[in-house]
Chains A and B, each alone.
Chain A
Amino acid sequence: MASAERASATEPPAPLRQRVLSRVLADGLVILVILGWWAMAKSLPASILPTPAEVAEQLWLLFTDATYLGHTAASVVRVLLSVALALLIGGLLALLPAGVPWASDIVHRRIQPFLNSFPSIGWAILAVIWFQVSDFTAIFVQVAILIPFCLINISAGLKELDREAIEMGRSFTRSSLKVFLKLTLPLLLPYIVSALRIAYGVAWKIAIVSELFGTGTGIGYLMGEAQQSAKPALLYACCFAIVLIFFAGEKLVLDPLSRSVRR
C-alpha cells in the first residue's frame, strides 16, 4: 500500500496492532453503514429507503428466482459477449496501423477520438431508433461504448513493444504471422488483459445503460422497471447485484488471468 512507503517522523504503531486496528476500521465501517442504513430506513418511507433485509431478500431472488435469474443471466451473457467483441474489434483497429502504416491517422485521429467522445446514451437512443428494441441493440450499444477503451489500451501496448525482440524474431523467420503469434501477441498480453479489465468494468458501470432503453430483459431493464413501478427494494438489489457480479468476475477470472500473464 502507498502508506507503507511513507517515511513517518513519528514512531509507527506495532504492525500487529496496526493490522488489527485497520481491519476493525474497515469492517467496522461496513457494519456501521448497514446499521445506519437500517436506522434511517426505519424513519424514512419504504418508497425512498427500504430496509437492508428487504433489499437482501430481493437480491437473493435475483440469483434464485427463475424469472429474475433470467434477467441476471441475460445481462451477464450480454456483457461477456460485448466485451469479447469490443476486444476483437478494438484489437483489430489497433493492429491495423502496424500492417497499413498510412491508416494510423485514420485509426488514432479519426475513429478513436470519435468513438471516445461519443456519448453512451447517444448510442443507446440511436440504436433503438435504428434496430428497435432487441438483444442485438443492447449488444451493439455496449460494443460501441467499449471499443475505444480496448483500442486505446492495445494501441498503448503496441507502442511499448520491445522493438529489438521483434527485430530479432524477424531475423529468425520471414513469416510475419509466426512473429505475430510467437512474439507480438505474448508481449501484448498484459495490455490485452488490462483492456479486458477496463472493458469489463465500463460494461457494468456505464454500458449497462443499453438495457435501460434497448431491450426487454437484463438487470438494466429491471432497474428501469423497478423505478417506474415504485419497487425501490428491487432497484437497490439490482445495484448490489451488479456490484457482486463485478467482484465475482474480477476475483474469479480477471485477477487469476492477470497473475498468469505476469508470470
Chain B
Amino acid sequence: MEVRAAAPGVGAPGIGALAGIASRPALAAHLFTLIALGAWAFAATQVPPIALSGPWTTLKALWAFVTNPDQLAHMAYSLLHVGVAIVISFFAGSALAFLAHYVPVTALMIHGRISPFLNAFSGIGWSLLALLWMGATHLTVIFSISMVLIPFALVNMKEGLANLDRELIEMGRSFSRRGLRRFVKLTIPSLYPFMFATLRISFGVAWKVALTAELIGGGSGFGYLFDLARQDYRTPILFVVILLIIAFVYCTDRFGFEPVQRRLQRHYGLR
C-alpha cells in the first residue's frame, strides 16, 4: 500500500517543467536515457537477436504491432481484464471494509481471517487454481487479478474508515437523522482520497499480475502474446509488449493519477 502512496512528489507542471529541463538533475536524466539507449543498441549488436532485440528492431516490431488489428485486440483484452478486475476488487474490498466498520462483530472475521489469508495467497496460486476451476477463459484471468487486488483495496479502505473525521460525522448527525444521507454526503466524500489511492495502487499491481494470469490461464491478452512469442523465440514481440506496458503504466500514473492525487491531497489537507 505504502508503496504507491509513497511515490515521490514531482515538480510543478507547465512552466515549472520547462524550467526543469534546463536543471542539472533533468539534464543528467536525459543524458542517462541516451546512454541507456546507446548501451541497449550496442549490446544488441554483441548478442544473438534471440537474446536481445535492439531499439531499431523493436521500433519496427512496434509499428507492425500497432498496425495489426489482431495484435491490438490482445492489448484491448489486457485492458479489459485489468479494468474489470480493478472494479470488482474495489467493490469487493470496499464492501468488506464497510462491513467490518459498521458491523463491529465482523471485524475480526474480516481483518483477522479473510484479509491476512488473501494477503498471503500467491498470485500464481490463484491463476493455477482458477485455470483448474474455470479453464482458459477471460473469467479465469479476471478472477486471478481480482483476488490479488482485493486485500489491497480492503486494507486501504480500512485505513480510510479509521481516519474518518469523527467530529464531522457527529456534526452531520446533528443536521440529519438519515444514516444513508450522512453516508452519501459525508462518509463517501471523506473517503475519496483513499478510494483514489486504492485505484492507483490497484492499477500498478494489476499490471504486475495480469500478464502472468493471462499467460497461465487465458487465450488472449498481452500475457498470451508473451507465451506465443516465448515459444516461437520472437524476442522483438517480447520487447514490444514490455515497452507498451512500461509506457502505458508510466504515462497513466504520471499524467493521470499523480495530478489528481495531488489535487485531492491539497483539497483534503493530506500529505
CB distance from B173 to the nearest CB of A (A): 7
Stretch at the interface among B21-29, B57-65, B85-93: B21-29
Q: Enumerate chain B residues within 8 angstroms of A224, measured Cβ to Cβ.
A: 128
CB-contact partner of A48 in B36, B132, B222, under 8 A: B132
Which residues of B have CB within 8 Å of A194? Answer: 2
Interface residues on B, range: 35 or more
Instruction: Kindly state the separation between the CA atoms of A227 and B124 in the bound complex, as whole angstroms.
Output: 11
B117 interface neighbour in A21, A103, A108, A243, Cβ under 8 Å: A243
Whole-angstrom CA separation of A65 from B257 in the bound complex: 49
CA distance A18 to B103 in the complex (A): 11
- Note all chain A residues with C-beta closer than 8 A to B230: 125
CB of A178 within 8 Å of the partner chain: no
Assembled-state Cα–Cα distance A185/B228 (Å): 47
A173 within 8 A of B: no
- Asked if A235 contacts B25 (CB within 8 A), the reply is no
B113-144 interface code vs A (CB 8 A; 1 in, 0 out): 11011011111110011011100000000000
The answer to whether A206 and B132 have CB atoms under 8 Å apart is no
B 168-195 to A, binary, CB cutoff 8 A, 1 in contact else 0: 0110010000010000000000000000
Contact call A223/B125, Cβ cutoff below 8 A: yes
A4 to B158, CA, bound (A): 12
The verdict on A3 contacting B100 (CB below 8 Å), with A102-B24, A119-B245, A208-B124 known, is yes
Does B12 belong to the interface (CB within 8 Å)?
A: no
Query: Of the candidates A21, A106, A145, A149, which one forms a contact with B32 in the assembled complex, judged by CB atoms under 8 Å apart?
Result: A106
Cβ-defined contact, A156 with B6, below 8 A:
yes
B25 surroundings in chain A (CB, below 8 A):
101-106
Interface residue ranges, A against B (CB under 8 Å): 1-7, 9, 12-13, 18, 21-23, 25-27, 29-30, 47-49, 101-106, 108-110, 112-114, 116-122, 125-126, 129-130, 145, 149, 152-153, 155-156, 159, 194, 198, 201, 204-206, 208-209, 212, 220, 223-224, 226-227, 232, 235-236, 238-239, 242-243, 246-247
Known: A206-B208, A235-B132. 4 other contacts (CB 8 A): A26-B109, A101-B25, A102-B24, A152-B6
A sample of 18 inter-chain contacts (CB < 8 A) reads A2-B100, A3-B100, A5-B164, A26-B113, A29-B113, A106-B25, A109-B26, A117-B250, A119-B208, A119-B241, A129-B50, A227-B131, A232-B132, A235-B132, A236-B129, A242-B120, A242-B121, A243-B117
